[in-house]
């Protein structure tokens, strides 16, 4: 990534902004946070803080995943939202295009994950040492050798959706780490964080943010 990082030069896509939180639509190809080195400084956090200097990081999306990210605009909001992610009180829906036509309409993948140290940042299934990882999925449509699915992670492990789909034989199209051959030959990772529901830091009311699927 260090040699070919060319983030998209697109304007900030603000989904919601109030006195406590900010919701943005992250484009594919843009880091959530800075990488190591000045050439990896451009990221959604930096762009958010250029427009909203008080923006504070709460969670991340993979560089190649697009979709909804929320930021706290006060230290209280950052803590409040962070605890929701930590204690699994958020609700997340992703949409993905995956390799192969799924025969069943829905299912659950329950496979523990751990970092594959010699090949990091890749992750792998490890039943002895891995951390619990659960993904519910629902087929939206299938045809022409692929399927469109809605993915509903119950945990938030790194690369969870990508590894889980690969493990059940349906890698996400365009995935540079976990897809091979023609499944990998797409212009981007076909994974999008479509919806995020959180409890508002001011009062605790449930609020949902959505970003239209770009593929």
Q: CA-CA distance, 211 to 75, in Å (whole number)?
A: 25
How far from the centroid of its chain's Cα atoms is residue 157's Cα?
10
Q: Strand pairing partners for 31?
A: 43
User: Is the separation of the CB atoms in 173 and 190 below 8 Å?
Assistant: yes
62 is catalytic: yes
Residues 6+ apart with CB under 8 A from 70: 21, 22, 23, 24, 58, 59, 81, 196, 198, 209
Catalytic residue among 9, 13, 18, 62: 62
Q: CA-CA distance, 52 to 136, in Å (whole number)?
A: 35
Q: CA-CA distance, 148 to 143, in Å (whole number)?
A: 9
Enumerate the active-site residues.
62
């Amino acid at each position: 990534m260090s040699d070919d990082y060319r983030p998209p030069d697109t304007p900030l896509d603000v989904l919601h902004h109030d006195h406590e939180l900010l919701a943005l639509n992250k484009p594919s190809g843009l880091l959530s946070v800075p990488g190591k080195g000045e050439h990896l400084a451009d990221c959604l956090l930096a762009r958010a803080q250029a427009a909203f200097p008080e923006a504070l990081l709460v969670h991340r999306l993979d560089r190649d995943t697009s979709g909804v990210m929320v930021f706290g605009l006060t230290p209280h909001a950052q803590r409040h939202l962070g605890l929701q992610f930590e204690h699994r009180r958020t609700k997340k829906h992703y949409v993905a295009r995956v390799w192969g036509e799924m025969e069943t309409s829905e299912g659950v993948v329950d496979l523990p994950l751990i970092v594959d140290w010699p090949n990091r940042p890749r992750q792998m299934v490890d039943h002895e040492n891995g951390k619990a990882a659960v993904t519910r999925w629902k087929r939206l449509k299938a045809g022409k050798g692929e399927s469109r699915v809605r993915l509903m992670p119950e945990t938030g492990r790194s690369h969870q959706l990508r590894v889980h789909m690969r493990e059940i034989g349906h890698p996400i199209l365009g995935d540079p780490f976990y897809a091979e051959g023609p499944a990998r030959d797409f212009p981007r990772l076909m994974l999008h964080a479509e919806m995020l529901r959180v409890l508002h830091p001011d009062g605790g009311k449930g609020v949902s943010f959505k970003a239209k699927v770009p593929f």
